[in-house]
Amino acid sequence: MSELTEFEFPTFQRSAFSGPESEFYFDLVRLEGRPDIPRGFPHRHDYYHLLWMSEAAGSHMLDFEHYEARANAVFFVSPGQLHAWESTVRPKGFVVNFSTEFFVQMFPRAEEIAQYPFFHIASNSPVLYLDQAQHDALLPILLEMEKEMLGRAEAHLDIVRAYLLVLLSRLRRLYPRPADDGAPAHSHSLTKRFCLLIDRHYLEFGPLRDYAERLFVTERQLNDAVKRTLGKTAGQLVQDRLVLEAKRLLSNTDMGIAEIAFQLRFEDHAYFGRFFKKHTRLTPGEFRKRYCGAVPRPSLA
């Protein structure tokens, strides 16, 4: 990792749990018995990160939102998201890390990824709180993955990939659907594809028309689908993504506010300031002070 500047947070480019020499695709470790877990300092990963908490009591910050960390909680963290968590009791459970390559091997098409809502900007929540029976029913899948990773027999990664697909599919069944579940299936699909497009092109595309044309629908059809599925307008989703990127730049770099505004395609940094405050109730400077002024910096030695 590069040397940290004043406002940078570390990015883990590969999971260290699999060992320093191995090529990283997938690893799984238990939470208990590891002094480096939980990581209470803000950081991000270049890979997918699943936290399976059998026992915990604390808080998990994910992209500046705070969620309860408790027993039978499952957290889903996508590459690039800023997060930190802590627990007042020694946590028990598993950390499951897998690379983007490993994920793509399971879901080669974008529409397949869109069916799994937890690793996505349009998800209702990045956490799933299980009851005890649900936790106990799914735990054997993690134990089987652990057995394969420890044994490292022939084709163990193929078997682990199959178990992971089963685990994510079972969790998808338990994941709460949007409140307005009367939306047709095509509305859900269109919304997910729209969100994938936002994540890739929010700095390149201009008006909503650009997205609609790429999705081969009208602006009205796109807006109606998003409203039915998420209760927001399509334009709000684009704005939400801009706000999130602004938060990341403010908290993770020492770029000036005018520079950040320019990078996010705002011609006027004063307008950027008003835009940011409208969505966060904080000026960019106030936000930076809140999230950077008292943040502990980890040792990278």
> Contact at 8 Å (CB) between 39 and 84?
yes
Higher local confidence (pLDDT), 296 or 289: 289
Helix or strand (DSSP H, E) at 52: strand 48-55
33 backbone φψ class: left, alpha, beta (φ>0; ψ -120 to 50)? left
Higher local confidence (pLDDT), 26 or 144: 144
pLDDT tens-digit series, residues 244-295: 889 888 877 888 999 999 999 998 999 999 999 999 899 999 988 877 643 4
**298 pLDDT more than 80:** no
Per-residue confidence (pLDDT) for residue 163, from 0 to 100: 95
Closest CA to 116 of 194, 173, 157: 173
Please state which of the ranges 18-27, 182-191, 284-293 shows the lowest mean pLDDT.
Answer: 18-27
Number of Cβ within 10 Å of residue 224's Cβ equals 17
pLDDT tens-digit series, residues 190-234: 887 888 788 888 888 888 999 999 999 999 999 998 888 777 899
Per-residue confidence (pLDDT) for residue 293, from 0 to 100: 46
Residue 126: DSSP 8-state: S
Distances (CA, A) of 216 to 85, 149, 233, 249: 41, 44, 18, 32
Higher local confidence (pLDDT), 48 or 299: 48
pLDDT band at residue 142 using 50, 70 and 90 as cut-offs: very high
pLDDT tens-digit series, residues 93-128: 999 998 877 876 777 665 566 567 677 655 568 899
Per-residue confidence (pLDDT) for residue 85, from 0 to 100: 94
pLDDT tens-digit series, residues 164-183: 999 999 998 898 765 544 55
> Contact at 8 Å (CB) between 126 and 62?
yes
Per-residue confidence (pLDDT) for residue 120, from 0 to 100: 62
Higher local confidence (pLDDT), 36 or 52: 52
pLDDT band at residue 68 using 50, 70 and 90 as cut-offs: very high
Per-residue confidence (pLDDT) for residue 8, from 0 to 100: 58
Return the SS3 of 128.
Answer: strand
Measured distance CA(195)–CA(211) in Å, rounded = 10
**185 pLDDT more than 70:** no
Measured distance CA(219)–CA(225) in Å, rounded = 10
Written as one string, the DSSP assignment of 172-215 is HHHSPPPS-TTS-HHHHHHHHHHHHHHHHHTTT--SHHHHHHHH
Place of tokens 């939306």: 183
> Contact at 8 Å (CB) between 124 and 3?
no
Per-residue confidence (pLDDT) for residue 250, from 0 to 100: 87
Mean pLDDT, rounded, for 31-53 = 88
